[in-house]
């Protein structure tokens, strides 16, 4: 079996062309990045707002539960039947949304209360507090949310091939249809590999974005910054 998978993967013919691994990987990646970015554009500002004001935190929980309750494939097929292939993308965006939202919210919530209090006490405006204190300190958990979202979307994109969206899932489903198990297994391995690779890139990005002083706190406590927010 292993030798068959190796043989499949090493065959250059499987890599090139319209149905090849390279193009499908690219599409897979593109869908996922698009979905997570689109979700982030709304979820990050919303999470920041909710965390900053403390208003609407119920929303974060509600979103998370609602999406978890949705059968993924049902959502994807449902939307796809209504709006055809590209609407499966919309489903991916919806899927990515709660993870980014709750990550951002949790990040702002974990900013040390005393730092925010000091910011207020020195006369920072609400916006200054958000940009200069809350956002930089929220980044570790915020990026954690983005990485979660990406992993979920990566996995679901594989299923989305059922409704005609391209990507590595397509190779997998085709392989199943024609009972080429070497192709199926290879596609599964490639999906996992791509997910790991993208996660590594995001981990690198996190290291770049998170300020050094915040990294030190995370390293010291083994978790996010200390808990916060009993309004004193």
Ligand X SMILES: Nc1ncnc2c1ncn2[C@@H]1O[C@H](COP(=O)(O)OP(=O)(O)OP(=O)(O)O)[C@@H](O)[C@H]1O
Minimum CB separation of residue 53 from other proteins in Å reads 16
Nearest CB to other proteins, comparing residues 29 and 217 = 217
Beta carbon of residue 232, minimum distance to ligand X (angstroms, whole number): 6
133 binds other proteins (CB under 8 A): yes
Interface with ligand X in residues 213-232 (CB under 6 A): 231-232
Which of 118, 178, 197, 223 lies at the binding interface for other proteins (CB under 8 A)? Answer: 118
| Site size for other proteins (CB under 8 A) | 26
* Smallest distance from ligand X to CB 113, Å: 12
Hunting for tokens 């698009």 — which residue is that?
34
Please give the residues from 176 up to 215 whose contact with other proteins meets the rule CB under 8 A: 211-214
Indicate which of other proteins, ligand X, none lies near residue 114 (CB less than 5 to 8 Å, by partner kind): other proteins
Least Cβ distance, residue 230 to ligand X (angstroms):
8
Q: Which does 212 bind (CB under 5 to 8 A by kind): ligand X, other proteins, none?
A: other proteins
| Residues at the interface with ligand X (CB under 6 A) | 231-232
């Amino acid at each position: 079996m292993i030798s068959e998978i190796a043989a499949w993967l090493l065959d250059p013919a499987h890599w090139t062309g319209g149905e090849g691994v390279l193009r499908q990987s690219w599409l897979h990646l593109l869908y996922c990045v698009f979905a997570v970015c689109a979700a982030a554009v709304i979820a990050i500002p919303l999470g920041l707002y909710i965390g900053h004001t403390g208003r609407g935190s119920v929303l974060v929980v509600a979103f998370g539960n609602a999406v978890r309750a949705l059968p993924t494939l049902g959502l994807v097929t449902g939307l796809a039947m209504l709006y055809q292939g590209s609407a499966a993308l919309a489903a991916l965006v919806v899927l990515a949304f709660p993870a980014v939202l709750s990550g951002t919210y949790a990040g702002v919530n974990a900013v040390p209360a005393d730092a925010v209090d000091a910011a207020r006490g020195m006369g920072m405006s609400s916006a200054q507090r958000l940009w200069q204190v809350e956002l930089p300190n929220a980044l570790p958990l915020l990026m954690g949310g983005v990485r979660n979202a990406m992993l979920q979307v990566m996995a679901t994109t594989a299923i989305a091939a059922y409704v005609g969206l391209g990507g590595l899932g397509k190779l997998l489903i085709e392989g199943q249809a024609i009972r080429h198990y070497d192709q199926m297994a290879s596609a599964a391995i490639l999906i996992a590999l791509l997910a790991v690779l993208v996660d590594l890139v995001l981990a690198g990005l996190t290291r770049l974005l998170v300020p050094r002083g915040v990294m030190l706190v995370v390293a010291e406590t083994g978790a996010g910054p200390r808990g916060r927010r009993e309004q004193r």
